[in-house]
Amino acid sequence: DTGVSQDPRHKITKRGQNVTFRCDPISEHNRLYWYRQTLGQGPEFLTYFQNEAQLEKSRLLSDRFSAERPKGSFSTLEIQRTEQGDSAMYLCASSLASLFTTYTQYFGPGTRLTVL
């Protein structure tokens, strides 16, 4: 399967614990996006990378959240000191990129986080 993959698919944690999610994009895609979706709502943008550079972060991304894409391939999203409000589906997407062209984003299956 050459689509976007995410791991784990489900994570249950206790408040105050740290969690880390992984996203593997489609191999030739140089853009990688993280979104968050709470129940009944549309997804919200968190951050995105072009290759290994983090180009934009939402103000939703508090200092408890950090994302990396160290070699321009897979990415990790870490949440420190989780809170119940962090419970959501975390979605990763990838796409090609160029200055003047918009490309379709391909989404992974998501990681559902439950903070108890």
Least distance CB 81 / another protein (angstroms)? 25
Q: Which residues contact 109 (CB under 8 A, 6 or more apart)?
A: 5, 6, 9
Q: DSSP state, 8?
A: -
- Minimum gap (Å) between residue 78 Cβ and another protein: 20
Q: d(Cα 64, Cα 21) in Å, to the nearest integer?
A: 14
Cβ proximity to another protein, 6 vs 82, nearer residue: 6
Binder among 5, 13, 37, 54 for another protein (CB under 8 A):
37
* Per-residue interface string for the shown chain with another protein, residues 68-107, x marking contact by CB under 8 A: ---------------------x-x-x---xxxxxxxxxxx
